[in-house]
Amino acid sequence: MKTIKTVKELREYRKTFDGKGVSIGFVPTMGYLHDGHMALVDASVKANDITFVSIFVNPTQFAPNEDLESYPRDLDRDLKLCEEHGVDCVFTPDPDEMYQNQKTYVTIEDLGAHLCGKSRPTHFRGVLTVLTKLFHFTRPDRAYFGKKDAQQYFIVKKGMKDLNFDLEICPVDTVREADGLATSSRNVYLSEEERKAAPIIHQALEHGEASIVKGMKAQDLIDQITKEIESEPLAKIDYVSVVDQEDLAPVEVIDGPVLVAVAVFFGKTRLLDNFFYGE
Ligand code: PAF
C-alpha cells in the first residue's frame, strides 16, 4: 500500500493508471477509522480495481467554535486498517498542502440550508470544497459515502452532478454497534453514561419508522420521535426533521420518499442518525 502526502506525488501516481482500463474507487475520510468507514472501503475494494482513501481532517468544514483541534486522530492505526482491507493508496496531506490562502469555495444553494446547515452554516461549503479538490487529484470512477451523513450524501451527489464530475456517488448503509448506536468517530467523546444512553436515538427512529403510514402528517412523526428521545434526560435534541429526498426541504405530509433525520447532543457531542423512507 502506498502512502502519499503531496498533491504532486498523488497526481503522478494516479496517472500511472491512465489508459490501463482499471476502475478507481475513492473513500474520502477524516481518519480515526471505524467499522462504518471500513464498510465504505470494503464496498470500494469489491467494486473497483484500485481503491484510494484520503485521511484529512478538513479545517474548512469546521466553524471556529467546533472540534477541529480535538478531533480524534490515530494515523498509524488507520494505515494498518487500510492495508488489511486491501486499500492501494492512502493520501494523508498536511493542511498546508491542501490550502494556501484559499479564496475559492464550492457552495450549494438550498440543500445546505436545512438539517445540519442550520447549526453549521459553513460546513457543507468546506465539504464540497475539499471533495472537489480530492476528486481532481484522484479522478475516481466511484466515491463512497455513508448514509448516516445523509445530508452530506445528497449534497455531494447533487453538487457533483451540477458540476458535471464524471463519477458515481455511492451510498453505503449505516453500520451500528451491537446496541444500535450508529458508528461515528465522535462516539469516543461520550462519557460512559452518555454512551449507555445514546442508543435511544436509534430506538426512537426504529419506532418512528414502524409507525409511519402513507399520508400521515410529518409533525406527528416528529412529535413521536422527539418525545421518545426526550425521555432520556442526557439527550438534548438539535433537530428532528422529515425532509424531501430531492431538495431536503421539510415536508408536511409523508407521501413520497423522505429522509427522517435527527441530530442529538449528549453533553457537547452531537450525534446524527436517520432512516430513508419510501426509497
Ligand atoms: O464525512 C467526512 O468524514 C467528511 O465530511 C469528508 C467527506 C471526508 C470531507 O472532509
- CA 199 to ligand 1 centroid distance, Å: 23
Question: What CA–CA distance (Å, rounded) separates 224 from 105?
Answer: 39
- pLDDT tens digit sequence for 253-276: 999 999 999 999 999 999 999 999
Q: Write out the three cell numbers for 224.
A: 413521536
% pLDDT > 90, the chain:
98
Give one word for 152, left, alpha or beta, with left for phi > 0 and alpha for psi -120 to 50.
alpha
Please identify, by atom number, the ligand 1 atom nearest to the C-alpha of residue 185. Answer: 3
Question: What CA–CA distance (Å, rounded) separates 231 from 214?
Answer: 26
* β partners of residue 259: 243, 276
- pLDDT value for 29: 98
Contact call for residues 49 and 76 (beta carbons, < 8 A): no
Question: What CA–CA distance (Å, rounded) separates 156 from 112?
Answer: 10
Please identify, by atom number, the ligand 1 atom nearest to the C-alpha of residue 127. Answer: 9
Cβ of residue 57 lying under 6 Å from some atom of ligand 1: no
Mean pLDDT of the chain: 97
% pLDDT > 70, the chain:
100
Query: Any idea which residues carry the catalytic annotation?
Result: 37
Question: What CA–CA distance (Å, rounded) separates 54 from 72?
Answer: 16
- pLDDT tens digit sequence for 6-36: 999 999 999 999 999 999 999 999 999 999 9
Q: How confident is the model at residue 198 (pLDDT cuts 50, 70, 90)?
A: very high
Backbone angles phi, psi at 235, to 5 degrees: -90, 130
Q: Is this model's pTM higher than 0.85 or not?
A: yes
Average pLDDT of span 26-55: 98
- pLDDT tens digit sequence for 152-164: 999 999 999 999 9
Question: What CA–CA distance (Å, rounded) separates 265 from 3?
Answer: 36
Question: What CA–CA distance (Å, rounded) separates 71 from 189?
Answer: 9
Q: Write out the three cell numbers for 277.
A: 423512507
Contact call for residues 259 and 111 (beta carbons, < 8 A): no
Average pLDDT of span 221-233: 98
Average pLDDT of span 86-111: 97
Ligand 1, pocket-test mutation among 27, 147, 149, most atoms within 8 A of CB: 149
Question: What CA–CA distance (Å, rounded) separates 11 from 15?
Answer: 6
Cβ of residue 30 lying under 6 Å from some atom of ligand 1: yes
- pLDDT value for 279: 79
Average pLDDT of span 177-184: 98
- pLDDT value for 130: 98
Q: Which of 202, 169, 61, 181 is nearest to 124 (CA)?
A: 61
Q: Write out the three cell numbers for 252.
A: 408536511
Q: For cell 423522505, what's the residue?
A: 258
Cβ of residue 127 lying under 6 Å from some atom of ligand 1: yes
CB atoms inside a 10 Å sphere around CB 122: 17
- pLDDT value for 250: 96
Question: What CA–CA distance (Å, rounded) separates 154 from 136?
Answer: 20
Contact call for residues 272 and 184 (beta carbons, < 8 A): yes
